[in-house]
Chains A and B, each alone.
Chain A
Amino acid sequence: MSDKILELQNITKYFPGIKALDGINLNIREGEVHALIGENGAGKSTLVKILTGVYTPTTGKIIYQGKEYSFKNAIDAQEAGITAIHQEASMFPELSVMENIYMGHHLKKKGALDWKEMRQKTKDLLQKMEIDINPDTPVKNLGVAQRHMVEIAKALSIDAKVVIMDEPTSALTLREVEDLYKIVRQLKKENKAIIFISHKFEEIQEICDCFTVLRDGQYIGEGNVAETGIDQIVNMMVGRSLDQMFPKVDVNIGETILEVEGLSKAGSFKDVSFELKKGEILGFFGLVGAGRSEVMRAIFGIDSLDAGTVRLKGQDVVINSAREAMQKGLAYVPEDRQTQGVILEQSLTSNITLPIIDKISRLGKVDAKAEKAKTAEFGRMMEIKAAGWHVNANTLSGGNQQKVVLAKWLATEPEILILDEPTKGIDVGTKAAVHEFISEMASKGLAVIMVSSELPEILGMSDRVVVMHEGHKTKEFSRDEADSDVIIKAATGHTVESNA
């Protein structure tokens, strides 16, 4: 077995009020692809931030190349040879490919930047990776896959010894994934260590040698991929019985309330059809970029549709704005609650009553009494923990902010509730509370669409599951048919069902 290049011992990381990581161990060897596996919220990204020097661990040791290290910042870790390839967050869209690669360590000659040399080196690098990109092209003109390749080239340009790839395939097509595998194998040959973050078992089987599983911020175990087998890894990853986490109760499903047919929008999704019944929770699963949120935004009238019909209670409707959608009984809780859902600098009262401000106003003036009453009613229903209804939303924890968003939309008393990643980034306890609440609302006849990237959540909560891949609906499963295997397959585009 080759040498251990990086070792984490008993790493713990606290944030105010949250234990994000608790006793994590990680052993990375040269020339090895190591899968870091865990559900969303398991602590993978926190761990990556510790490895790359963005966070310092509260306790625990990082041993790198035989010495104990403590990275002060991202540059520190990079100079030591540990680099992470993020999604798009770390690119300069307006600047050229070569400059994206060399930003922060531009090559110089006689006091001036040496563009000729940088261009040549970029060319060599890209050639070695067998990708055909002009070094002078601005990154904004590249597709997602090409951007990713540039990120990898950047890691290689600084001669990294440990390369961390954070869900590198999530936005790639199958062919592009093959190209990526080729590069990963090449890196392996050059004796680099690769940490491969993924929750797609197919690719873990295909490309990874070893694995470490995290769950709820804890170290669960590690092993050799080939020896352990996928079933056992899945068990380690999910680890708890689904019924406990997801208190879904069986309810009587009512009549169809929403039907959509052939929804298309160029560049986002094509020919998406499904229906939704009263009392039903319809799960929408897919990888990042599959187009689920885009479909929801279009149904809710935020984005326009190129084609397709939306039928509410059997009647064709055209929804041109969020306002119209709300009037027709729809509510949409967006994914990024901080930018799209809560106004951080305003009180809970203002936040919760914002969509119904017309209803509680008389002669253009907000009725303060009604405002308070509504806030209290829905705030209590959601069990929001706050010092009072007058405090600003930014004083609340992430989980409670999520509850504020839910309360806000429930105050509109909708018939159809669309939830986009309702439990993303909140702790386990709050998650369970949100799930319980969703289930309860459905049992009262609310029709719910739940977009989620968390498979256990989809499996645990949904009456039916729609799976999307690259803008197409690939499959639909009933609660009984749905299991993680078939859903993952459909989400990675392996079984495309014709929509005819």
Chain B
Amino acid sequence: MNTIKELMKKREITLVLLVLTLTVLVNLRAPGFVSGENISRIINDTSILIMVAIGQFFVILTGGIDLSVGSIIAFSGMAASMLNQSNPALPVGLVLMVGVLIGLVLGAFNGLLVAFGKVPPIIATLGTMSIYRGFTFVLSKGQWVTAHEMTEGYMNLPKGTFLGLSNLIWAAVLVSAVMIFFSRYTRSGREVYAIGGNKTAAHFVGVSEAKVNMLIFSISGALCGIAGVMWTSRYAAAVNETATGFELQTVAACVLGGVNIAGGAGAIPGVIIGALFLGIINNALPVVNFSPFYQMFIQGLIVLAAMFINTMMDNRKEKELLNRRSL
């Protein structure tokens, strides 16, 4: 009994149960929702969100936020597509690397603003959100790159399969694995937790806040770079408005996954499940005859509910601790 209680305290388990319940309920309304094909489609649809949400996770872990993710996706996606359009002979792998590199540079610039310009993350990335989106329009001169201007190889990048799973899913799996390793088994990864948990204490043990900020914004940017290439190749279109408002979904995935918005607490598995939860909702709405117009409304509602539950759980824990003083 106690072990069950202990398990229930683990946020990830609760979330998994919630996801399973949700899936079963939807399946009752629309049999066939739980099929290998549909599940693989949901995961495929959610892969980009998972990768970008993991970048967002590190930023939130320090107590910051990265509002520029959507714009970095748009810019790196546009740049990669235009590169593919003008140099069709260039190997797709190289185009992907260029996209990642562009994302990394834009992210590192966010990091510079925060680490050395001492600009609060929310302001810094609010600024670069517009700047990078503006870059995208300037670069494309307002034009789109459409399917017939892209090479087959580029468009097949996310679609190709390996062991029955799409490359896109593999990318998400690889990113997740590397990032989980980074967050658990490297000093730098733990330093991100330290900065978010207690800045003063972190300084006392020699953790550099500037270094951590540079690192996390660069990671977030690089992951957006991957996402940008995957997004434009998957939808076979690079438009200037790509991923507008996507930052909210990434924050939502983190909040749902139990990441403390004030920093210091959270883990990647939670973020992945949080992203999948959103993916299932998005996929289920049309299936249960809910107008997709409600999608944003429902997402917002879920995030608020998650925040509310988090706060309540924290308050309860604090009360328990106080009561232990047995007064």
Q: Which residues of chain A have a CB within 8 Å of any CB of chain B?
A: 73-75, 78, 89-95, 99, 103-106, 108, 112-113, 115, 140-141, 143, 266-270, 470-471
Contacts and interface: CB of A to CB of B under 8 A. Distances in A.
B260 interface: yes
Given A89-B200, A91-B198, A113-B185, A267 B193 contact: no
A303 to B, nearest CB: 12
B325 interface: yes
A103 B323 contact: no
A94 B323 contact: no
A93 B323 contact: no
B1 interface: no
B184 A113 contact: yes
Q: Which 7 A-B pairs have the closest CB atoms?
A: A104-B205, A267-B322, A92-B197, A75-B206, A112-B185, A94-B265, A90-B201
Contacts of A143: 321, 324-325
Given A99-B190, A141-B321, A104 B327 contact: no
A89 B260 CA distance: 20
A24 B289 CA distance: 79
Given A106-B190, A140-B317, A266-B322, 19 more contacts: A74-B204, A74-B205, A74-B206, A75-B206, A78-B205, A78-B206, A90-B204, A92-B193, A92-B264, A94-B260, A94-B264, A95-B193, A103-B202, A103-B205, A104-B206, A106-B187, A113-B187, A143-B324, A270-B327
Interface residues of B, number: 29
A99 B184 CA distance: 11
B323 A267 contact: yes
Interface of B: 181, 184-187, 190, 193-194, 197-198, 200-207, 260, 264-265, 317, 319, 321-325, 327
B193 A94 contact: yes
Contacts of A267: 319, 322-323, 325, 327
Contacts of B198: 89-93
Say whether chain A's binding surface is mostly helix, strand, loop, or mixed.
loop
11 contacts: A75-B206, A90-B198, A90-B200, A90-B204, A92-B201, A94-B265, A103-B202, A103-B205, A113-B184, A113-B186, A141-B321
A89 B194 CA distance: 13
A45 to B, nearest CB: 14
Nearest to A471: B327
Nearest to A139: B197
Contact of B197 (A73, A93, A108, A141): A93
Contact of A269 (B194, B205, B317, B327): B327
B188 to A, nearest CB: 10
A248 B252 CA distance: 60
Nearest to B205: A104
A268 B265 contact: no
A91 B321 contact: no
Nearest to B200: A89
Given A103-B207, A106-B187, A95 B327 contact: no
A74 to B, nearest CB: 5
Given A92-B194, A113-B185, A266 B206 contact: no
